[in-house]
Chain A
Amino acid sequence: MTTVETATGPAKTMVLNMGPQHPSTHGVLRVALELDGETVVKADPDLGYLHTGIEKSCEHKTYSQAITLTDRMDYLNPLGNNLVYCLAVEKLLGLEVPKRAQYIRVMMVELQRISSHLVWLGTHAIDMGAMSVFLYCFREREEILKIFERFAGQRMMTSYIRIGGVALEPPAGWREMIGKFLKMMPSRVDEYEALLTENRIWQGRLQGVGKISLEQAIAYSMSGPTLRAAGLAHDNRKVFPYSSYEEFKFDVPTRTDSDCYGRYLLRVAEIRESLKIVKQAMDKITDSGPIRTEAPGIVPPPREKMKVEMEALIYHFKIFTEGFSPPPGDAYVAIESPRGELGCYIASDGSPKPLRCHFRSPSYVNLQALPLLIQGQLIADVIACIGTIDIVLGDVDR
């Protein structure tokens, strides 16, 4: 017990330990809350329970081996992690990716964004006491995971995006599969909105909770839906386009209320925008064409070529035994992940392994502002705030 000075005179506060084994902390986040009654006086997040040293491990793997590690950081956005890592390595190498592969990448990353927002919506609803939304969201997410399984052979740890392109040709019947999903999804989003948007309990729990001003959000380097809900249309897909995003037509939804309810409405709007992008990407992807750039010694040659050309076989062997060496230098690439700005900084010293590989994870930086959001709020609001920042602890701790 410590004594603090409050508006009504000296008062006793107590420290409550929330987490790390707490279902609403979305993993293993521990927050030490200093409470005055039920009001939060001070909060100190404690991280690192899921720290796996991925950045250190990357330094001891070749450039192509490290892709599998990136899947495991933000486990709700493995394709986005693959993409940012590959874009950074491609920048170091000065590698151009064929348009067809770029569109496939965009389509997959946008499907991933929908699936990540669905998990967010479902788990956040369950935190707030709405059980059925969780089941509905996971039902639709399952459809997306089935699409990933068909494309990559994996539901979650896809490693589908590779240096120079993507791993595999889209599977037979992919257009029908995604077309069916796009047809079904808008009415399902309406269904979630019918359950939540006008729901009085939902509004009561979220409206006016966890407010942050735009100035503070920028000063604390917040990005993604949390920043856009504060009123700034800053989206890396529009401002610093990558992977041909400049060719796609979509809006960047913004709101000005900057509370938990605004962040909810913003993410729902983003699901609808992502559906538009997936539709456009589907139309842009031609039925045939290269999925990987031709770069001997860097990008593995197609399997058919290896069977008839000796050089292709030698390059294949060399890529998987010793790897390739980008020129010395460094590159930083930032993309818009479902949670905000996901960055990758790679420095090369001219050897086949990165000198340094750093990931700027949006969850980590956004979580920094949690004490600001919850100061003076009730314990129940802490859960709403942690939920709407949308953290993934694998991404925070890396």
Chain B
Amino acid sequence: MGATQKSALERAIENPQPVAGIESRSPVDGLDRRSVGFIDVLSQSVSAVAPSAAATTMPLLVATVAGGATVWALGAAMLLALLVATTVNQFTRRIAATGSLYTFVAHGLGTTASFVTGTALLVGYGFVAMFALGGAGYYLAILASRLWPALTGSLLLPVLVILGMAAACLVLLARGIRVSTRATLLVECVSVVIILALVVALLVVQGPALDWSVLDMSGVRPADFAVGAALALTAFVGFESSATLGVEARRPYATIPRAVTWTVIGSGGLYLLAALSQLVGFASVGGSITASVSPVNDLAAAYGIDALGLLLDVSIAASFLACAIASITALVRVLFSMGREGLLPSAFGRSHRRHRTPFVAIVVTVPVLTTGLIGTILLTGSVWRAMEIFIVGAAGGYIAAYILACVATPVFLWRIGELTPWPLVRAGVAAGLLSAVLVVYLAVESSSARFAGVWVFLAVMLVGTVFAVVRRIRRPWLRDTVGVYDVPVSTDVLGAGLAEDRAAP
């Protein structure tokens, strides 16, 4: 470009042209817009996955069905999760919202599909929150009864612990997004460090002669491998939850996709390492992982590092607590979106003036979840049984929401004129595999001791969808409001202020 002839960019900067259609406030105004950085966004996704709790429990669950293919099944699940993550990221790179997949699907498949996704997502976040709160209570109760054996077996203790933690969650969540993400980050870091220390300790005690026969796939039926991979996928669900911070994240189109991808890679790496170390550990002490109830504790005892078991319980409880906070964080932001759109009462879309959090949604959600959890515990008579029901329902909810998001991706890209072959292929493969996983998972679980979870999941999905559809018939204007997202405001756009000035009298 010559000195006399200015480039279009120079002219645009020197003399910005008015840009119409940019408002001074976003429709999801009221939250702490553009306030948290990459670390907070990452900690939201990581905590919702709760990798350290899953790393101690998942290898056992997968090993009982997949046997020698455990590590491979975990690896396959990680690849599938990555496929889903990159597909979901087609949305997170283009839409910043608080409704996550619920909002995304609205822009691909329309209102009805969006309601189904919303219900599935609420089931996922809500059930995982109850599962995690229950889990934290369960492990803290175990810890307490180790120290004071008189407390063993009482239901009152975990219930009291759960009530205490629910109150703590309520305060943290209401105080502001930075407070809650920083708290979960701290808690999650502590528990991941403890798990990694245990894994390394096991491998070091093991010495250089690792028993690689645990990777032997021969004698594993393909069906068992598939079931193992389906179960293993449930260890990853929640990785997309940072998408609910679309309004609050700084540079959301960069940080959220990055957080989603790295959560899958990081937690997948941890699972593979944990599974390998546990299998190798059991192979060398001559036992079997499937005969153990709490494999890491048993391994630690077998290697004479019993005290680590105590540490482990603390770390799992911490990870569960972080998971509960992160899941409720995501849940209330989906409710906030629904409140703003008119699907739920508008009070859900109200934010706290000072803390800039979806206050009403938090105040309603936490007591409802706590009541549901304690009710289920009392009904089933055991914390563990209640947790099993919730985790099955949650996994179903997440996977159903992922399927719809994967189907919606190419439609959305086509609508905005940005469809290319690769995202289409990835979305298609992911949707197909996920559907297979969901069917396999529900089939396996419905014939297991956790069958109640499948029925609860299906029932809640049905009720939620019917409610949403009835709501839609009563309020036909919802089709225009659903899918609310953060739009650039006039301070973000060069020349948008000009249009405003001219419009003003």
A binds B: no
| B residues adjacent to A (C-beta < 8 A) | none
